């Protein structure tokens, strides 16, 4: 599926640094030279944001179609509540709409921007909603790749699903303790100390695991999914 | 060159896990290290991809409509500058500028008045404090002066006393055995004081005459005459006719009325 549907995967071309041609992404790209690349997808996202800055609502609609699913999934993963996740997504897209003029593609991809906004708002919600003690007790991320749900037949869902598969695969290549540290760091909203306490490890060990895990993830994730 | 420590901080920064001193330290490094900034951007993108590991769920269909409707009520910040009819709005802009200037000046005026009143109050308080301090200083100065004067007087008295020559005169005549006579001599003032009790009264044709014996003179120097009352008490100052350098002795003789230039009568009292 990954090789057959190339266009949605190219979104991440701008999100991750380009590696050398030895990776799977290179072979994918070489096998389908006529397929739109990740660079094209990234430029398309940036173009939509630029159009939004000019007040074009159709651009917002198109961007929503592309990003709502992974962003909603992220919000839901953090807050574990559908209504709250919807509120977060609404806030994020309205912020993207209003702040579109400030987007600078040289500072990162549209997806990176939107995902960061979604994660931060989700974590803020969780922190407001729960006391720290509850957070420590309840935020045990599911490290197993979850089964996809929803409408997998739509093209938007398809490309997101394929990218998600690639990310999960990359996470799966990490040592289990690195995986856990990365997941907690991203989804839980815990501090370094809280992560160390939760995993019952020294703080230095946790820092090292996050560093090694993220660097490996950066190397493993194909630049062209 | 990026160190392992910088890599670690960059990774933590990508997950928003840096706090306090670590964050401050890292952000100061970021400001001056382009290579580090590039690494942070790259790791942030990778970290964002972690979002895709969450189970994928489609949002409710109504959400898009809700968002699009909410977006209709707001206007995005535009990145282009709309043409602006300057001339049309120039008078309004000038009026607004004048209004702002007037408001600013009014505010400044009020501020300066307040500041002036405050300074005046401060000055009054300072003056009051100065007067109080001055009064206290004057009082203390007066007291000090008094103390100095008193001490000076005491010292002077002590010096005077030390300077004075005090002599008890002894009776040389049979009728003055009970007489008590003290002569006090102040060499500086060249004056003396005789205090006498139980000195026998004498008839009106006679006087007691005071003599001061000074080796500088061949004869005793006349100190004057006096007459005692019936009770025999008298305190009489005396001043010799000649300057006395060394009062070797004081004497009282009984002389004819008005005294004599050179002692002739009986010496009734003598003291050295």
Instruction: Confirm or reject contact between B158 and chain A (CB < 8 A).
Output: no
Q: What is the pLDDT of residue A131?
A: 58
Q: Confirm whether B139 is domain-assigned.
A: yes
Which residues of chain A make contact with B63, given a CB cutoff of 8 A? Answer: 68, 72, 86, 89-90
CB contact under 8 A, B51 and A150: no
Of A82, A101, A214, the CB nearest to B11: A214
Which residues of chain B make contact with A52, given a CB cutoff of 8 A? Answer: 76
User: What is the number of CB-based contacts under 8 A between chain A and chain B?
Assistant: 207
Q: pLDDT tens digit string along A144-184? A: 334 444 444 455 556 677 778 888 888 999 999 999 999 99
- Percent of chain A past pLDDT 70, that is, above it, reads 66
Question: In Å, how far from its chain's centre is CA B93?
Answer: 61
Cross-sheet strand order for the sheet of B206-213:
B221-226, B206-213, B249-256, B266-271, B165-171, B180-186, B191-197, B234-238
Q: Do residues B50 and A171 make contact, with C-beta atoms less than 8 angstroms apart?
A: yes
Q: What is the pLDDT of residue A114?
A: 92
Residue A115 pLDDT class (50, 70, 90 cuts): very high
- Percent of chain B past pLDDT 70, that is, above it, reads 94
For residue B112, how many other CB atoms are within 10 A of its CB? 10
Nearest chain B residue to A82 by CA: give it.
B59
Q: Confirm whether B138 is domain-assigned.
A: yes
Last residue of some domain: B107, B128, B162? B162
Which residues of chain A make contact with B43, given a CB cutoff of 8 A? Answer: 214-215, 218
Please check whether residues B176 and B247 belong to one and the same domain. Answer: yes
Please check whether residues B236 and B170 belong to one and the same domain. Answer: yes
Please check whether residues B184 and B235 belong to one and the same domain. Answer: yes
Q: pLDDT tens digit string along B217-247? A: 988 999 999 888 777 788 889 999 999 988 9
Q: Confirm whether B8 is domain-assigned.
A: yes
Residues 35-74 of B with CB under 8 A from A: 41-60, 63-64, 66-68, 70-72, 74
Tokens of B86: 């300057």
Residue A6 has pLDDT above 60, yes or no: no
Q: What is the pLDDT of residue A167?
A: 87
**Highest mean pLDDT of the ranges A23-37, A86-100, A127-141:** A86-100
Residue A76 pLDDT class (50, 70, 90 cuts): very high
Q: What is the pLDDT of residue A146?
A: 42
Please check whether residues B223 and B210 belong to one and the same domain. Answer: yes
> Considering only CA atoms, which of B103, B260, B269 is closest in space to residue B182?
B269
Q: How far is A161 from chain B (nearest CA, A)?
A: 7
Interface ipTM = 0.71
Q: pLDDT tens digit string along A29-72? A: 333 333 344 556 677 888 999 999 998 999 999 999 989 999 99
Residue A204 has pLDDT above 60, yes or no: yes
Q: Confirm whether B172 is domain-assigned.
A: yes
Please check whether residues B112 and B98 belong to one and the same domain. Answer: yes
Integer angstrom CA distances of residue A107 from A27, A46, B34, B40, B103: 27, 12, 13, 10, 43
Which residues of chain B make contact with A145, given a CB cutoff of 8 A? Answer: 53
Lowest mean pLDDT among A32-41, A87-96, B55-64, B174-183: A32-41
Q: How far is B93 from chain A (nearest CA, A)?
A: 27
Which residues of chain B make contact with A72, given a CB cutoff of 8 A? Answer: 57-59, 63
Which residues of chain A make contact with B72, given a CB cutoff of 8 A? Answer: 57
CATH of residue B225's domain is 2.60.40
Q: Which domain holds residue B123?
A: 93-162
Instruction: Confirm or reject contact between B8 and chain A (CB < 8 A).
Output: yes
Lowest mean pLDDT among B6-20, B76-90, B153-167: B76-90
Residue A2 has pLDDT above 70, yes or no: no
Q: Confirm whether B63 is domain-assigned.
A: no
Q: What is the pLDDT of residue A23?
A: 32
Mutation choice for A interface testing from B38, B56, B73 by most A CBs within 10 A? B56
A7-28+37-131+147-220: which CATH number, 3.30.450.260, 3.10.129.10, 3.40.50.10260, 1.10.1740.10?
1.10.1740.10
Average pLDDT, chain B: 84
Does the CA dihedral A118-B36-B46-A108 come out positive or negative? positive
Q: What is the pLDDT of residue A11?
A: 31
Residue B263 pLDDT class (50, 70, 90 cuts): confident
Residue A3 pLDDT class (50, 70, 90 cuts): very low
Q: What is the pLDDT of residue B240?
A: 92
CA gap A223, A13 in Å, rounded? 5
DSSP-derived letter for residue B78 is: P
Q: pLDDT tens digit string along B76-127? A: 765 444 455 566 677 777 888 888 888 888 888 888 888 888 888 888 888 8
- Percent of chain B past pLDDT 90, that is, above it, reads 17
Q: Confirm whether B196 is domain-assigned.
A: yes
Mutation choice for A interface testing from B8, B52, B60 by most A CBs within 10 A? B52
Tell me the mean pLDDT in the region A131-149. Answer: 48
Which residues of chain B make contact with A168, given a CB cutoff of 8 A? Answer: 52-53
Nearest chain A residue to B66 by CA: give it.
A90
Q: What is the pLDDT of residue B144?
A: 78
Which residues of chain A make contact with B80, given a CB cutoff of 8 A? Answer: 54
Domain boundaries, chain A: 7-28+37-131+147-220
Of B50, B67, B77, the CB nearest to A90: B67
Per DSSP, what are the bridge partners of residue B218? none
CA gap A56, A53 in Å, rounded? 7
Assign residue A77 a region (left: φ > 0; alpha: ψ between -120 and 50; beta: otherwise): alpha
Number of domains in chain B: 3
């Amino acid at each position: 599926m990954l090789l057959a549907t190339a266009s949605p995967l190219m979104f991440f071309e701008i999100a991750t640094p380009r590696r050398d041609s030895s990776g799977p992404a290179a072979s994918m790209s070489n096998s389908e030279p006529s397929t739109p690349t990740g660079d094209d997808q990234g430029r398309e996202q940036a173009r939509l944001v630029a159009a939004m800055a000019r007040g074009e609502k159709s651009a917002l609609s198109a961007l929503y179609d592309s990003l709502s699913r992974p962003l909603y999934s992220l919000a839901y993963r953090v807050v574990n509540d559908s209504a709250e996740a919807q509120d977060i997504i609404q806030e994020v897209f309205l912020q993207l709409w209003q702040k579109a003029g400030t987007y600078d593609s040289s500072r990162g991809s549209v997806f990176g921007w939107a995902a960061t906004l979604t994660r931060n708002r989700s974590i803020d919600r969780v922190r407001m909603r729960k006391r720290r003690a509850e957070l420590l007790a309840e935020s045990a991320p599911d490290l197993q790749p979850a089964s996809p749900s929803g409408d997998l037949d739509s093209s938007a869902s398809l490309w997101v699903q394929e990218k998600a598969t690639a990310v999960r695969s990359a996470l799966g290549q990490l040592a289990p303790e690195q995986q856990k540290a990365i997941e907690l760091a991203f989804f839980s909203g815990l501090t370094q100390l809280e992560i160390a306490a939760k995993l019952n490890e020294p703080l230095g060990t946790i820092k090292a695991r996050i560093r090694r895990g993220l660097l490996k993830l950066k190397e493993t994730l194909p630049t062209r999914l | 060159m990026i160190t392992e420590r910088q890599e670690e901080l960059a990774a933590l920064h990508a997950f928003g896990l840096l706090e306090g001193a670590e964050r401050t330290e890292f952000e100061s490094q970021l400001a001056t290290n382009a290579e580090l900034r590039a690494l942070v951007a790259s790791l942030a993108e990778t970290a964002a991809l972690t979002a895709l590991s969450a189970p994928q769920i489609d949002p409710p269909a109504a959400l898009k409509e809700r968002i699009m409707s909410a977006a209709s009520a707001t206007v995005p910040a535009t990145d282009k500058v709309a043409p602006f009819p300057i001339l049309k709005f120039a008078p309004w802009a000038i009026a607004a500028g004048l209004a702002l200037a007037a408001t600013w000046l009014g505010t400044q005026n009020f501020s300066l008045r307040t500041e002036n009143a405050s300074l005046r109050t401060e000055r009054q308080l300072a003056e009051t404090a100065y007067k109080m301090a001055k009064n206290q200083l004057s009082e203390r100065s007066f007291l000090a002066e008094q103390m100095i004067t008193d001490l000076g007087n005491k010292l002077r008295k002590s010096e005077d006393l030390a300077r004075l020559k005090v002599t008890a005169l002894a009776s040389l005549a049979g009728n003055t055995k009970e007489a008590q006579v003290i002569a006090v001599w102040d060499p500086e003032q060249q004056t003396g004081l005789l205090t006498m009790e139980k000195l026998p009264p004498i008839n009106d044709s006679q006087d007691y005459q005071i003599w001061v014996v000074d080796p500088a003179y061949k004869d005793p120097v006349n100190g004057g005459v006096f007459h005692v009352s019936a009770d025999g008490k008298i305190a009489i100052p005396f001043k010799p006719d000649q300057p006395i350098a060394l009062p070797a002795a004081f004497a009282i003789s009984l002389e004819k009325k008005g005294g004599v230039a050179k002692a002739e009568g009986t010496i009734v009292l003598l003291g050295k």
